[in-house]
């Protein structure tokens, strides 16, 4: 094991081996309890995520509603909403990372699938569990606070007035790119091995990325960057406005996740260069 000096001291670099890519289709997963435990973890985590965050959104709108006796500057504000989303992601990724990987977002799952970190079966089932969890989470909000829920839009994502479809789509693409790029960087085993002397708590940068993206895009789309979050809110609220531009909250995040996966794996990790170098090193026949 190699040793490196750092300002008179030393640290040991961990041995690093690139893990093999996940199989495209792994039917054996369906026979393992750990697979179903991971699905349950993704379902519950997404349920809790939507329950807390949608309650925060509705609470802010009710407290700042002047017509209902509220204060225009009351409530947690956009900053508080952004903290609610980022903070919950930090908490839930920390709690579930060791069980399911802590995806809690179909876009994250899609990006990791493209990078061959998870199999197709796991990716599809994760997305189903996440969407069901989101629906149930928003359903609980409506069940407990139906009056406030209906009055203040149910926390559904909508393209804000004054913004074009292209602007909204771009916001979702770039916002999701930031999130998924952060996920790849924070969980990169090669980086963790190389920089083993610098401790990194992966959920922290991931949650902080969600917080920063919300600050930038809440005024534009209400911030999706998570198709399950947008879908669950739209299903329970089920008003025409929530469905008008709903495709943005699927297409944008999936494009952003795909770009992030390509950028990290083939540019930063030099996957394309390695593949080309391997091809060139093959002996000619």
Measured between alpha carbons, how far is 244 from 235 in angstroms, rounded to an integer? Answer: 13
- What residue numbers bound the domain in which 79 lies? 28-267
Asked if residue 262 is part of any domain, the answer here is yes
- Name the residue with higher pLDDT: 46 or 238: 46
**Could you tell me the pTM of the whole model?**
0.86
- Coil, helix or strand for 217? helix
Mean pLDDT along residues 121-131: 97
Total domains, the chain? 1
Residue 6: pLDDT above 60?
no
E strand or H helix that includes residue 190: helix 189-194
CATH number where 176 lies = 1.20.1080.10
pLDDT in tens, 214-230: 999 999 999 999 999 99
Q: Are 225 and 172 within 8 A, CB to CB?
A: yes
What does the pLDDT read at residue 8?
A: 46
Domain annotation covers residue 32: yes
Confidence of residue 23 (pLDDT cuts 50, 70, 90): confident
Mean pLDDT of the chain: 86
CA distance to 99, 195, 234, per residue, from 174 (Å): 29, 27, 22
What pLDDT, on a 0 to 100 scale, did the predictor assign at position 237? Answer: 93
157 domain residue, yes or no: yes
Residue 80: inside a domain, yes or no?
A: yes
Read off the pLDDT of each residue in 5-11 and give the average, rounded to a whole number.
45
Each residue's pLDDT tens digit, 53-65:
999 999 998 888 7
Helix pair angle (120-144, 33-63), 10° resolution: 40
Weakest-pLDDT range from 55-59, 61-65, 85-89, 279-283? 279-283
Q: Which residues contact 284 (CB under 8 A, 6 or more apart)?
A: none
pLDDT at 275: 47
Measured in degrees and rounded to the nearest 5, phi and psi for residue 3 equal: -115, 145
Q: What is the mean pLDDT of residues 101-116?
A: 96
Pick the closest to residue 169 from 263, 88, 248, 89 (CA basis).
248
Question: Per-residue pLDDT tens for 159-208?
Answer: 999 999 999 999 999 999 999 999 999 988 776 666 554 556 889 999 99
Residue 272 belongs to some domain of the structure: no
* Nearest-angstrom CA–CA distance, 34 and 230: 28
Instruction: For residue 281, name the pLDDT band (cuts at 50, 70, 90).
Output: very low
Q: Is residue 3 part of a domain?
A: no
pLDDT for residue 215:
96
Would you say residue 70 has pLDDT above 90?
A: no
Length of the chain: 285
* Other Cβ atoms within 10 Å of 17 Cβ, number: 8
Higher per-residue confidence, 76 vs 190: 76
Is the pLDDT at 18 greater than 90? The verdict is no
Whether residue 149 is contained in a domain is answered as: yes
**19 domain-assigned:** no
**What SS3 state is found at 12?**
strand
Distance CA 104, CA 110 (A): 11
């Amino acid at each position: 094991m190699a040793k490196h000096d750092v300002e008179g001291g030393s640290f040991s670099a961990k041995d690093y081996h690139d893990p093999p890519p996940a199989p495209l289709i792994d039917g054996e997963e369906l026979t393992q309890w750990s697979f179903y435990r991971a699905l349950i973890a993704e379902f519950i985590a997404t349920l809790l995520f939507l329950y807390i965050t949608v309650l925060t959104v509705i609470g802010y709108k009710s407290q700042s509603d002047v017509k209902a006796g509220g204060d225009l500057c009351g409530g947690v504000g956009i900053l508080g909403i952004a903290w609610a989303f980022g903070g919950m992601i930090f908490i839930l990724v920390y709690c579930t990372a060791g069980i399911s990987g802590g995806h809690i977002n179909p876009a994250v799952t899609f990006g990791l699938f493209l990078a061959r970190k998870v199999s197709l079966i796991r990716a599809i089932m994760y997305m189903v569990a996440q969407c069901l969890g989101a629906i149930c989470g928003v359903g609980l909000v409506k069940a407990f606070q139906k009056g406030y829920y209906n009055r203040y839009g149910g926390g559904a994502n909508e393209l804000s007035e004054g913004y074009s479809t292209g602007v909204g789509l771009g916001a979702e693409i770039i916002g999701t790119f930031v999130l998924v790029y952060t996920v790849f960087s924070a969980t990169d085993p090669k980086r963790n091995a190389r920089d083993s002397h610098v401790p990194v708590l992966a959920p922290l940068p991931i949650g902080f990325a969600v917080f920063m993206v919300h600050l930038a895009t809440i005024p534009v789309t209400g911030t999706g960057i998570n198709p399950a979050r947008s879908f669950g809110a739209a299903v329970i609220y089920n008003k025409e406005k929530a469905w008008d531009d709903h495709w943005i909250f699927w297409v944008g995040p999936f494009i952003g996740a795909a770009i992030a996966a390509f950028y990290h794996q083939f540019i930063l990790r030099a996957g394309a260069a390695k593949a080309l170098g391997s091809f060139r090193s093959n002996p000619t026949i």
